């Protein structure tokens, strides 16, 4: 088996749910994510030698660390037992609804696969990354992991079987993400959700999910805009996010196609049909928080079509 030395991989942050696709739809963005630097050593076994960018909050024990669990799962699957040190460089915040644990899990599987000279395809890595993500939040849904790994906009037909499909991302589509400096834990954010929805809500939401898929496929920005609505999850989670509706209304007023909560929040994303609009929308969203004396960060990105990569 050929072993590659000095591997560095990157797995991007992701926006999950995308308004109408709760637990099923996600997209990858640029500029934020997890980097892992791998060193092959003579001492057998997988270790996390160093973690930076986490303010000392992430565990280094393999079986407790999202990247570690995912990386170990690939090694176990392949029956490989060599010495590997991982240095994890978190280049994104966690607890913000941008798929931090998914990026860790994906970077973990990518790191091992690149060291071992790609014995598996990206799609074959997916279940192992899912094990890492599941270790982080207990749930098994691929709406962050799949786009972080594969890139683009990913629709998960069924999470249990990882029946995932890449949608066409129209040229020009931009994402503006505003991240307020407040923390919402995914488990709290799940806790507020009712176990039931009305049949009427189900019909409206699934019509919008269908409309979004058709709109993306046909580069029909009008249809994308009409479809980017969440009548089920957003009304329940909005209260956890300061000034959510004001930020959203501002984004729409400034020309965003749609605006909703990224994943479990508190990050808020807006999809826009070009970079000019995205910049204007993002600045206006951030201004809402500035006026409330809430610190926030703004990220403007195209859809990341590459996903996780060696770098």
Which parts of this chain interact with its own copies (CB under 8 A)? Answer: 21-25, 155-159, 163, 165, 167, 193-211, 213-214, 217, 223, 226-227, 232
Please work out, in degrees rounded to the nearest 5, the angle formed at the alpha carbon of residue 166 by the alpha carbons of 161 and 168.
Answer: 160
- The dihedral over CA atoms of 204, 246, 24, 227, expressed in degrees to the nearest 10, equals 40
Residue 271, beta-bridge partner list = 175, 258
Query: Per the omega criterion (within 30 degrees of 0), is the bond before 266 cis?
Result: yes
Contact assessment for residue 43 and residue 49, using Cβ atoms and an 8 Å cutoff: no
Category of 136 on φ-ψ map: left (φ > 0), alpha (ψ -120 to 50) or beta = alpha
Residue 90, both tokens: 């978190």
- Look up residue 123 and give its two tokens: 């799609």
Residue 193: CB minimum distance to its own copies, A: 7
- Minimal distance in Å, beta carbon 234 to its own copies? 14
Residues acting as catalytic residues = 133, 186
How near is the Cβ of 195 to its own copies at its closest, in Å?
Answer: 6
For the bound state, the minimum distance from the C-beta of residue 110 to its own copies, rounded and expressed in Å, comes to: 26
Residue 90: burial class (beta carbons within 10 Å; 0-12, 13-18, 19+): buried
Residue 208 CB, shortest distance to its own copies, in Å, is: 7
Please name the residue that has the structure tokens 């990354």. Answer: 129
């Amino acid at each position: 088996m050929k072993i590659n030395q000095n591997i560095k991989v990157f797995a991007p942050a992701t926006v999950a749910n995308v308004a109408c696709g709760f637990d099923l739809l996600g997209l990858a963005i640029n500029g934020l994510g997890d980097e892992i630097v791998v060193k092959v050593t003579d001492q057998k076994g997988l270790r996390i030698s160093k973690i930076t960018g986490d303010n000392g909050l992430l565990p280094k024990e393999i079986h407790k660390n999202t990247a570690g669990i995912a990386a170990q799962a690939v090694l176990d699957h392949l029956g490989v037992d060599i010495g590997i040190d991982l240095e994890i460089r978190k280049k994104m915040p966690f607890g913000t609804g941008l798929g931090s644990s998914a990026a860790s899990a994906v970077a973990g599987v990518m790191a091992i696969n690149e060291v071992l000279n790609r014995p598996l395809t990206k799609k074959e890595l997916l279940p192992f990354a899912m094990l890492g993500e599941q270790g982080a939040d207990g749930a098994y849904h691929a709406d962050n992991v799949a786009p972080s790994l594969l890139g683009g906009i990913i629709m998960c037909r069924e999470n249990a079987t990882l029946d995932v499909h890449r949608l066409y991302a129209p040229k020009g589509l931009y994402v503006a993400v505003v991240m307020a400096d407040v923390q919402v834990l995914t488990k709290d954010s799940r806790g507020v959700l009712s176990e039931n929805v009305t049949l009427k809500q189900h019909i409206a939401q699934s019509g919008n999910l269908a409309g979004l898929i058709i709109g993306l496929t046909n580069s029909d920005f009008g249809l994308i805009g009409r479809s980017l609505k969440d009548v089920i999850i957003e009304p329940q989670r909005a209260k956890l996010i300061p000034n959510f509706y004001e930020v959203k209304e501002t984004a729409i007023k400034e020309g965003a196609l749609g605006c909703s909560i990224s994943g479990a929040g508190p990050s808020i994303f807006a999809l826009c049909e070009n970079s000019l609009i995205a910049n204007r929308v993002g600045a206006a969203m951030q201004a809402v928080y500035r006026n409330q004396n809430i610190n926030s960060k703004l990220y403007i990105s195209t859809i990341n079509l590459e996903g996780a990569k060696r770098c």
